[in-house]
Amino acid sequence: MEIFEVISVGIIASVLFLLLKDKQPSIAFLVIVLTVLYFFIFVIQYVQEILQLITYLGEQANINEIYIKTILQIIGISYITEIGANIVKDAGLESIAVKIEMIGKVFILILAIPIFKSLIETIINIFPIT
């Protein structure tokens, strides 16, 4: 099973990190970054399948493609932001990680504005203001 491969790589990377962190902290950090990159490449094939399924279901439900793309972009930004912030936290730079998370939230808000606008317009059309 592939999950055993992922867990094995994670355990090996953790042991390497613990062995190297005191004597070679930059190499130890590189081990973490490469492990995260490996995990990202490993999981991307499954993410593509999920994205195709969500797109297909949206088409079947006759949902505007722009909304589905926007929601998928928001989900992607949240995952990428979390991964990036965690890598920076692993490097001991909590203050930069917090800024990365804040910027990710701002990007999500920017992407969500058209959806909020459409939602409010729909509500106004259903319940007109007199």
Please give the tally of structural domains in the chain: 2
Residues 51, 69, single domain; the answer is no
pLDDT at 87 over 90: no
Residues 17-51 pLDDT 10s: 999 989 998 899 899 889 989 998 888 888 888 88
SS3 102: helix
Residues 33, 75, single domain; the answer is no
Contacts of range 67-71, beta carbons closer than 8 Å, 24 or more positions apart: 67/115, 67/118, 70/111, 70/112, 70/114, 70/115, 71/115
Whole-number pLDDT of residue 92: 85
Whole-number pLDDT of residue 130: 64
Residues 58, 77, single domain; the answer is no
Residues 38, 73, single domain; the answer is no
Query: Of 62, 86, 104, which one is at a domain's C-terminal end?
Result: 62
Domain span holding position 5: 1-62
Residues 78, 128, single domain; the answer is yes
